[in-house]
Chains A and B, each alone.
Chain A
């Protein structure tokens, strides 16, 4: 019982140990170091960007993307041409079958 009371008192004194805490000053030259850090951060980001772009892997990847885009565009054009020729052929067949071609009128 006595031990429990001691324990409770000890815990309560620990919980109240932050009472009267004083503020700590921020490190000296905080702003100077912050602005230097911000500048370094920008130059570091730029350096990382330049390093990435100048890598051969990046150049190869870009070339592959261009090649793939060209391939897709050419494929699309070929398909379009095919559908156009097939649609004009079917119209011609239709006009010939029903005698609607201009030659048959005159």
Chain B
């Protein structure tokens, strides 16, 4: 089943088409979300939300981009939504811990260890992921899509609905910011 047939099947509400879509793209979506969210269990929930969104809004898929591009776009949006919710929760948790209502909230997040990274790079990657988390939204998305998901500048541009030149500039700024963050980290 190709992208067009899948989209047509989804539009008709075909369960089999939805199952094929999930089974074809689950790893791709999960990896995109996993690199953004940096938590295995939360990533599963966010990836599920991505497919629910796909099921509910398949009418908005115009077919002028690849299905994978559309899925990546939803995955990035959902990851940002999750990040906003996490920040809000964190703020509420901090207030609660100041008031002495919740001591669990004061605990800081542990370092993220990506299982797909070789052992000798694990320590550096954990530091890098922590720094990536501090980047502004689009820089973070561009850096992850290119460096972790292995996409090209053109593919990333299609996902972020911009030009390849703009993605190049985003990557340049992301690297500059990461160097600054890492310098601060080791000072």
Let me know if A24 and B48 touch, CB within 8 A. no
User: By DSSP majority rule, is chain A's interface helix, strand, loop, or mixed?
Assistant: helix
Closest residue to A7 on the B side, CB-wise?
B186
Q: A11-B182, A11-B183, A15-B179 are in contact. Are A26 and B121 (CB under 8 A)?
A: no
Interface size on A, residues (CB 8 A): 24
23 cross-chain CB contacts under 8 A: A11-B182, A14-B124, A14-B131, A14-B182, A15-B128, A17-B125, A17-B127, A17-B128, A18-B117, A20-B118, A21-B116, A21-B117, A21-B148, A22-B116, A24-B27, A24-B30, A24-B31, A25-B27, A26-B29, A30-B22, A34-B22, A34-B51, A34-B52
Q: Is the CB–CB distance between A24 and B115 below 8 Å?
A: yes
CA distance A41 to B48 in the complex (A): 12
Contact partners of B186 in chain A: CB under 8 A = 7, 10-11
List of 8 A-B pairs having minimum Cβ-Cβ separation, nearest first:
A22-B116, A17-B124, A26-B30, A26-B26, A17-B125, A17-B121, A14-B124, A18-B147
Contact in complex: B175, A15 (CB < 8 Å): yes
CA distance A42 to B88 in the complex (A): 26
Closest chain-A Cβ to B36's Cβ sits at a distance in Å of 13
B interface residue numbers (CB < 8 A to A): 19, 22-23, 26-27, 29-31, 34, 40, 44, 47-48, 51-52, 55, 114-118, 121, 124-125, 127-128, 131, 147-148, 150, 175, 178-179, 182-183, 186
Per-position 1/0 for A1-44, Cβ under 8 A of B = 00000010011011101111111111100110110011001000
Q: Which residues of B contact A23 (CB under 8 A)?
A: 27, 31, 116
Contact: A13 with B48, CB < 8 Å?
no
CB of B128 within 8 A of CB of A30, answer: no
What residue in chain A is nearest B34 (Cβ atoms)?
A24
Chain A residues near B19 (CB, 8 Å)?
A: 31
Complex alpha-carbon distance, A34 and B55, angstroms? 11
Neighbouring B residues of A10 by C-beta, 8 Å: 186
Q: A11-B182, A17-B128, A21-B116 are in contact. Are A31 and B23 (CB under 8 A)?
A: yes
**Nearest CB of B to A20, in Å:** 7
Closest to B122 in A: A17
Residue in B47, B117, B131, B183 whose CB lies within 8 Å of A30: B47
How far does the Cβ of A6 sit from chain B's closest Cβ, in whole Å?
10
Are A31 and B121 in contact, CB atoms less than 8 angstroms apart? Answer: no
* Proximity string of chain A (52-80) to chain B, C-beta cutoff 8 Å, 1 when within and 0 when not: 00000000000000000000000000000
Q: How far is the CA of A18 from the CA of B125 in the complex (A)?
A: 6
